[in-house]
Structure 1
Amino acid sequence: MLRALRFLAILAVLVWLALWLADQPGSVILNWRGYRLDTSFALMLVAVAVIAIIVALVYRLWINILGLPSRIIRSRREKRRRRGYLALTRGMVAVAAGDPDDASRQVKRAEGLLGEPPLTMLLSAQAAQLTDDETAAGKHFSAMLDNPETEFLGLRGLLNQAMKRDDWREALKLARRAYRVRPKSRWVASTLFDMLTRAGHWAEAEATLTESVKHHLVGQADGHGRQAALKFQRSLEAREQGNDAEAVKCASQAHDMDPGFIPAAVIKARSLVDSGKMRKAASLIELAWQLQPHPDFVHVYWAAKGANDAAQKFKATQHLAGLKPDHPESCIAVAAAALEARMWDKAREYLQPMVASGGSVRACRLMAELEESEHGDPARGREWLMRASHADPNPAWVCNHCGNAVAEWSALCGKCGNFDSFAWRAPAHIVSLASEEAEMPAALTARANE
């Protein structure tokens, strides 16, 4: 509609101009070399316009003739490039389909058509890997390092090869270089962090994690949890080196980052007790117990409360358990303290509800000890020990990745090597956690056979 209106407007202007020239024709006289030309102004204007159009067309034709060879060359080059990219695409499809023969054919075709090695190096390396020719693939990946546009792809390929052959030293070297090239790559940052923790480079791992949190590659909550684990690991390292002050400092920093981190809370509370800050130590344990009850808290809490005899220990434990009364660990802690204080009714009061629904190994073992200590009944004690063999397993540090269960927390899982993967919970199967637990049923059985 707008085009039609525009055309009508232009046509109207031209008609008006023609009529205006017809009403005022004027005259033009041209003398040149003895020739005289008499004409009207309108006719001369039309002649000039026609001549200008003819000159413009001739000039345009001449320019097109001059540029024809270059256009033919560009057209052929573009057609060749399209065929090269088509071969490159087909080669990638062949790699994805696991067809090494077709992938090799398409690589050669793409190399011949494109004449740009950086575009085909990755495909060549992948085609070589399909035929298990890691040496040739490594050469292609290494060649990619010389080009800034393909350096990262080459590093990733070489890094994967090094990890595949378990060459962790070379893999760490390549991961560091890849991190320098692409510090904001989530894959690179995660891979480098995992390798640094596996190698025990805790300070560098902590710096890498800090940068990852800064670049939003790792969430704040997850980052704080990992930083706490790294700080605590450095605390353990300092303790092994005899630097107790640094060990306590790192453990305190770990607790400040993650108040629910049980090992750090225990170490910090012990340091407060050693410093005579009993009230602060007790408050710390009480807060930690509300977050996640753990048996290691009980002995530190006794020390913080100055509980020296069995009755004082029971009273302190009962107060601590009251902060989270429905948790199984609270019932176990009070029952164990009651047994030590020879408060048989109190011990039974806390154990009976637990074993009524099956109970855990510790609950059944405590019931065996209760029957033996209160009634001197070895037969009942053996019954509870038999029930313990089929009861739910005791809580342990369980790897969230592979399910490995251990008695003591560690930064790395000894089975799968994952960092900070342990959580305090009941494992899927019964695992012997500590020597004292293994010795308890043996001691009770020996006493029952006397």
Structure 2
Amino acid sequence: MFKILSLFIILSITGYITIWIKKHPGEIAIEWQGWLIETSVPVIVSITLLLFLTLVITYWLFKKIFSIPKSIQKNYKKKRTIKANKTIIKALSAKNMGEMELAEKLSKEAKYLNNSPLKLLLDTELNKYNNNENIYVADLTKMLKHPETMLLGIKSLSNFYFDKGDFKKATNIIGKAPRSKNTPSWFFMTALKFNILEKNWDNIIENIKYIEKYTKITTAEIKILKSRIYLFKALEFNKEKNIDLKSIDTSLKFDPSFAPAIVFKAKLLYKKDDKLAFNYIKKSWKKFSHPDIANFITEIYNDKPKIELLNITKNLTKLNNNSFINNITLAKVAISIGSWTVARQALKIIPEKEWTKNIYLMMSDLEKKEHGNISKSNYWITKAENANLDYSWGCTSCTYISKSWHLICPECNNVDTIRWQQFSSSQRPINKNSSLEIIKSKGIIGELNTGIDR
């Protein structure tokens, strides 16, 4: 519409000027070299327009003539590009079919597009398959220059250096990922993992901010993550004989219920004042009972009279209403000191429908040690074979089972996937001579089904 309106205005103005000149032609006299030229205004205007049009047409013709070689070259490049792209697609198809020789042959035929995103994608796959590490790394580095392949290049290159154990290079590469909401969360979590492994504390805090800003993590999840990070920091400082109460307090501020943090703070307090530590344990147990806390009590009373440990445990288990944990904790302590009646009474309070493998095995131990009843002991072992598993520290990603909490899973290297959970079942056979110590988790249990997070 705008073009039509503009054309109408131009034609109207031109027509008006033409009519005006026709009505007022006038005369123009020009003297040049003794010549006297007399003419009218319309003639001068016509000659001027004619010269202008002649110049424009001449310029256009010369431009077309001189652009012919470039046009030919452009069409030639276009045809080669189309042909090379088709060849690359054929090569990728051959690669996915497992025809690697054909894929390599087609890749060479498409050399015209070397260093293009699609060709780099093909070449990295082929060089990875052929274990050409130097060329593979070089191609991945070239990928970083193209927006289309940058994220893939960053991911593959950082994983390559990580697998080689070069955490510093892996950290530098993953740091190149764009900080935006369009960047997958994997890059932010992996950057966090690499900085954790490098113990770059300032970068770790910065990574958490990026995760909070650019990923879909919830407020509750970010609090849990911060809690685990600060606990890890406190544990690492402790390895270097540096007591970091500030970090452990920050960890507990974000998640006051996390047993490993509670136990670690209790250990730090115990080094200063055992009464202070025990009061803290009682206060924590009242709200957040956990077997790890009970194990800590057992540790610190290891060299004291057994009856004192039993009395302390009895008093501790009266502080909250978690019947299951209270009674299984009391039963374990009672069995360890030979108080069979207390152990049996504690276990019988737990409804049998809630019994786990360890409870059945404790009943087996009781029958064997208290009465020497091997038949009854074997009966409980048989019941244990199909019982629910006990809660344990396990990875929600790979089902790795650990004796203690880890920030990074030792098996799959994922961050904050070790949780206190109960696996649904196990096909692991229990030998009749098994004890509670024997069946403790000691590594990957491939036969475990999906974990149930608590």
* Superposition TM-score, scaled by structure 1 size: 0.69
Alpha-carbon separation, structure 2, partners of 1:439 and 1:332:
18
Cα distance, 1:62 vs structure 2 = 3.0
Match of 1:89 in 2: 85
Mapped contact 1:368–1:380 kept (Cα < 8 A): yes
Alpha-carbon separation, structure 2, partners of 1:123 and 1:315:
66
Alpha-carbon separation, structure 2, partners of 1:295 and 1:146:
49
Cα distance, 1:134 vs structure 2 = 1.0
1:288 equivalenced with 2:291 (yes/no): no
Q: Deviations over 1:185-218 (max 9, x none)?
A: 7665554554555xx53x22x4443222223356
Question: What are the residue-to-residue correspondences of 1:305-324 with 2, within 5 Å?
Answer: 308=308, 310=310, 313-320=313-320, 322=321, 324=322
1:215 equivalenced with 2:221 (yes/no): no
Match of 2:451 in 1: none
1:364 equivalenced with 2:367 (yes/no): no
Residue 137 of structure 1, aligned match among 128, 131, 135: 135
1:391 equivalenced with 2:395 (yes/no): no
Q: Percent identity, aligned pairs only? A: 17
Q: Deviations over 1:268-319 (max 9, x none)?
A: 2344465444555433333333xxxx21223667999xx9574563343133
1:423 aligns to what SS in structure 2?
strand
- 5+ long unaligned stretches in structure 2: 96-102, 302-306, 440-454
For the structure 1 residues 183 and 130, does the alpha-carbon distance in structure 2 shift closer, same or farther, using more than 3 Å as the test?
Answer: closer
1:264 equivalenced with 2:261 (yes/no): yes
For the structure 1 residues 349 and 319, does the alpha-carbon distance in structure 2 shift closer, same or farther, using more than 3 Å as the test?
Answer: farther
For the structure 1 residues 65 and 190, does the alpha-carbon distance in structure 2 shift closer, same or farther, using more than 3 Å as the test?
Answer: same
Alpha-carbon separation, structure 2, partners of 1:284 and 1:375:
37
For the structure 1 residues 60 and 144, does the alpha-carbon distance in structure 2 shift closer, same or farther, using more than 3 Å as the test?
Answer: same
Matched AA of 1:215: Y
Instruction: Point out the more displaced range, 309-318 or 331-340.
Output: 331-340
For the structure 1 residues 309 and 105, does the alpha-carbon distance in structure 2 shift closer, same or farther, using more than 3 Å as the test?
Answer: closer
1:402 aligns to what SS in structure 2?
coil
Question: What are the residue-to-residue correspondences of 1:12-51 with 2, within 5 Å?
Answer: 25=24, 27-28=26-27, 30=29, 32=31, 33=34, 35=36, 37=38, 44-51=40-47
Mapped contact 2:91–2:107 kept (Cα < 8 A): yes
For the structure 1 residues 358 and 282, does the alpha-carbon distance in structure 2 shift closer, same or farther, using more than 3 Å as the test?
Answer: closer
For the structure 1 residues 413 and 431, does the alpha-carbon distance in structure 2 shift closer, same or farther, using more than 3 Å as the test?
Answer: farther
Match of 1:347 in 2: 346
Q: Deviations over 1:136-170 (max 9, x none)?
A: 7248438849989999987766555556xx5323x
Alpha-carbon separation, structure 1, partners of 2:137 and 2:370:
76
Alpha-carbon separation, structure 2, partners of 1:212 and 1:431:
44
Match of 2:170 in 1: 175
Instruction: Point out the more displaced range, 231-240 or 418-427.
Output: 231-240
Match of 2:71 in 1: 75
Alpha-carbon separation, structure 2, partners of 1:336 and 1:143:
57
| Cα RMSD (Å) | 4.7
Matched AA of 1:347: A
Alpha-carbon separation, structure 2, partners of 1:191 and 1:254:
21
Cα distance, 1:13 vs structure 2 = 6.2
2:436 aligns to what SS in structure 1?
helix
1:426 aligns to what SS in structure 2?
strand
Cα distance, 1:263 vs structure 2 = 0.9
How many residues align? The count is: 403
Match of 1:114 in 2: none
Cα distance, 1:336 vs structure 2 = 5.4
Alpha-carbon separation, structure 2, partners of 1:7 and 1:120:
47
Cα distance, 1:105 vs structure 2 = 0.4
Q: Deviations over 1:339-395 (max 9, x none)?
A: 8594589536522x2x1x262123223444666799886654443233223322221
Match of 1:126 in 2: 124
* Superposition TM-score, scaled by structure 2 size: 0.68
Match of 1:447 in 2: none
Cα distance, 1:50 vs structure 2 = 1.6
Larger radius of gyration: 1
- 5+ long unaligned stretches in structure 1: 112-116, 441-450
2:397 aligns to what SS in structure 1?
coil
Alpha-carbon separation, structure 2, partners of 1:336 and 1:85:
74
For the structure 1 residues 405 and 130, does the alpha-carbon distance in structure 2 shift closer, same or farther, using more than 3 Å as the test?
Answer: closer
Residue 404 of structure 1, aligned match among 400, 404, 409: 400
Alpha-carbon separation, structure 2, partners of 1:344 and 1:384:
15
Mapped contact 1:298–1:317 kept (Cα < 8 A): no
Alpha-carbon separation, structure 2, partners of 1:29 and 1:282:
116
Q: Normalized per residue, which structure has more helix?
A: 1
For the structure 1 residues 195 and 431, does the alpha-carbon distance in structure 2 shift closer, same or farther, using more than 3 Å as the test?
Answer: farther
Mapped contact 1:371–1:381 kept (Cα < 8 A): yes
Q: Deviations over 1:53-76 (max 9, x none)?
A: 211112113323443454224323
Mapped contact 1:88–1:120 kept (Cα < 8 A): no
Alpha-carbon separation, structure 1, partners of 2:160 and 2:297:
52
2:420 aligns to what SS in structure 1?
strand
